[in-house]
């Protein structure tokens, strides 16, 4: 699909834009959340559903995150049906000539804005809004839609960009333009270290719950503390990068949190984005605030069977080798970095086994299996962080497809 016209941009901006009205609400404080804040942690809620957020909102909460899956949940409830109808009608009234797929992409943009703006209007906090997965391998379109989302609500929108070669390079440009970025779908120290050094997004992520799950699914151990170990190792690597290079300011988000115990264990991390269920578990845990302590500098023994054939693949997630640091040093020193294309970064990164060249058949197989891959189906040459990122992206693509189909039903 071609980049949309300036007229279409203006029409969609008019449809998506809302004036943010009213004062920031006054909320009750929560002692356990106050403890996280005192330990240096910013606490967010991971939901696109306004009503669920309202049930658990406290004074210490400072942002919300949405994604393609969460947006689809909202859309399938029917709450955005009028937005869909109005957007389609307006585009047609303006005589804008769009293909069906272009129409779906643009209506989806307005929906995403409206879901996020409902949250902004209610809480007056920043909301992360994720790009459509279909544009994840295009620098040009990532830049276009990233700028467009930011223009709708520069005070409160943070743009979520998925981890792809093109994503790294687009984020580098967007950050230089002042667009706040949540660089998502990270699963290892090295992925996020590269992001911080190369592109310096405001935030990077570790989807820790999925890492625990993949260990359990392979019968490679209990899976306990695997994602937590990767997350804390990433925090240490980012802290070191920030201290050694004042140009690096990226902060870490612990994502894919599954329960209240993980919330408590990750106290002291830069940011926790917590689903409502896990938030309620933490709030109702009965813990005293002084029982919540930081484990960032602790030595952690994850629940992985060291004799399992996949043990080495898991351990690579929390390692940051001198070889990889040297690769990043050389990459960020390249004079052509700001004109580099995704294909070139992809090719360069093969030297450190990053960005496996998945075929279309591979991606279909990944999508069919779901967000937790079967490692037996993939050779050791496929890095686990690459595989987990692709599994997450394909899972979001599947949910985005369901959202797109609801839009499509209004075009008939």
Decide if 58 contacts 29 (C-beta within 8 A): yes
Q: Residue 109: which of 412, 394, 403 has the closest Cα?
A: 403
201 occurs within a structural domain? yes
Residue 365 annotated in active site: no
- 33/42 Cα distance (integer angstroms): 9
227 occurs within a structural domain? yes
Report in angstroms the alpha-carbon separations of 302 from 185, 225, 299, 360: 21, 5, 10, 34
Say how many domains are in the chain.
Answer: 1
Q: Residue 403: which of 16, 98, 111, 157 has the closest Cα?
A: 111
Q: How far apart are the first and last CA of the chain?
A: 21
Decide if 119 contacts 50 (C-beta within 8 A): yes
21 occurs within a structural domain? no
1 occurs within a structural domain? no
Decide if 194 contacts 172 (C-beta within 8 A): no
Check residue 330 and give its pLDDT.
Answer: 98
6 occurs within a structural domain? no
- At residue 28, φ and ψ (nearest 5 deg) are -75, 140
Q: List for the chain the helix, strand, coil content (%; round to 5).
A: 55, 10, 35
pLDDT tens for the chain, 412 residues: list them: 444 488 999 999 999 999 999 988 889 999 999 999 999 999 999 999 999 999 999 999 999 999 999 999 999 999 999 999 999 999 999 999 999 999 999 999 999 999 999 999 999 999 999 999 999 999 999 999 999 999 999 999 999 999 999 999 999 999 999 999 999 999 999 999 999 999 999 999 999 999 999 999 999 999 999 999 999 999 999 999 999 999 999 999 999 999 999 999 999 999 999 999 999 999 999 999 999 999 999 999 999 999 999 999 999 999 999 999 999 999 999 999 999 999 999 999 999 999 999 999 999 999 999 999 999 999 999 999 999 999 999 999 999 999 999 999 999 8
52 occurs within a structural domain? yes
Model confidence, pTM: 0.97
Give the residue numbers spanning the domain of 142: 26-409
Check residue 1 and give its pLDDT.
Answer: 42
Structure tokens of 202? 């405001």
Structure tokens of 384? 């686990």
Q: Which of 52, 114, 160, 229 is catalytic?
A: 160
14 occurs within a structural domain? no
Whichever domain contains 263, its CATH number is 3.20.20.70
- 64/62 Cα distance (integer angstroms): 7
Q: Residue 352: which of 136, 193, 133, 185 has the closest Cα?
A: 193
71 occurs within a structural domain? yes
């Amino acid at each position: 699909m071609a980049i949309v016209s300036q007229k279409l941009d203006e029409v969609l901006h008019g449809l998506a834009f809302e004036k943010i009205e009213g004062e920031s609400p006054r909320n009750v404080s929560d002692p356990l959340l106050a403890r996280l804040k005192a330990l240096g942690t910013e606490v967010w809620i991971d939901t696109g559903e306004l009503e669920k957020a309202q049930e658990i909102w406290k004074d210490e909460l400072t942002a919300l995150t949405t994604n393609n899956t969460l947006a689809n949940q909202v859309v399938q409830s029917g709450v955005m049906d009028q937005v869909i109808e109005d957007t389609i009608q307006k585009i047609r009234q303006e005589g804008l000539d769009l293909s069906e797929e272009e129409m779906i992409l643009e209506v989806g943009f307005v929906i995403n804005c409206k879901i996020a703006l409902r949250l902004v209007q209610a809480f007056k906090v920043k909301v992360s809004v994720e790009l459509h997965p279909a544009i994840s391998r295009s620098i040009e379109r990532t830049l276009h839609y990233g700028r467009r989302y930011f223009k709708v609500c520069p005070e409160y929108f943070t743009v979520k960009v998925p981890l792809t070669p093109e994503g790294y390079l687009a984020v580098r440009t967007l950050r230089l333009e002042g667009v706040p970025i949540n660089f998502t779908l990270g699963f290892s120290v090295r992925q996020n270290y590269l992001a911080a050094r190369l592109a310096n997004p405001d935030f990077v992520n570790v989807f820790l719950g999925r890492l625990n799950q993949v260990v359990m699914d392979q019968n490679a151990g209990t899976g306990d503390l695997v994602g937590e170990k990767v997350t804390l190792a990433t925090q240490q690597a980012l802290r070191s990068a920030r201290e050694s290079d004042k140009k690096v300011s990226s902060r870490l988000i612990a994502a894919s949190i599954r329960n209240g115990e993980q919330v408590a264990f990750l106290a002291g991390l830069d940011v926790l984005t917590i689903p409502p269920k896990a938030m309620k578990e933490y709030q109702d845990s009965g813990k005293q605030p002084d029982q919540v302590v930081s484990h960032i500098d602790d030595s952690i023994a994850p629940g992985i069977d060291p004799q399992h054939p996949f043990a080495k693949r898991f351990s690579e997630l929390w390692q940051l080798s001198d070889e990889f640091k040297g690769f990043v040093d050389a990459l960020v020193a390249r004079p052509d970095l700001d004109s580099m294309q995704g294909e070139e970064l992809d090719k360069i990164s093969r030297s450190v086994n990053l960005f496996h060249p998945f075929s279309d058949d591979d991606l279909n197989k990944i999508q069919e299996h779901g967000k937790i891959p079967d490692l037996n189906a993939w050779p050791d040459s496929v890095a686990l962080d690459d595989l987990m990122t692709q599994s997450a992206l394909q899972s979001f693509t599947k949910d985005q497809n369901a959202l797109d189909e609801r839009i499509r039903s209004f075009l008939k």
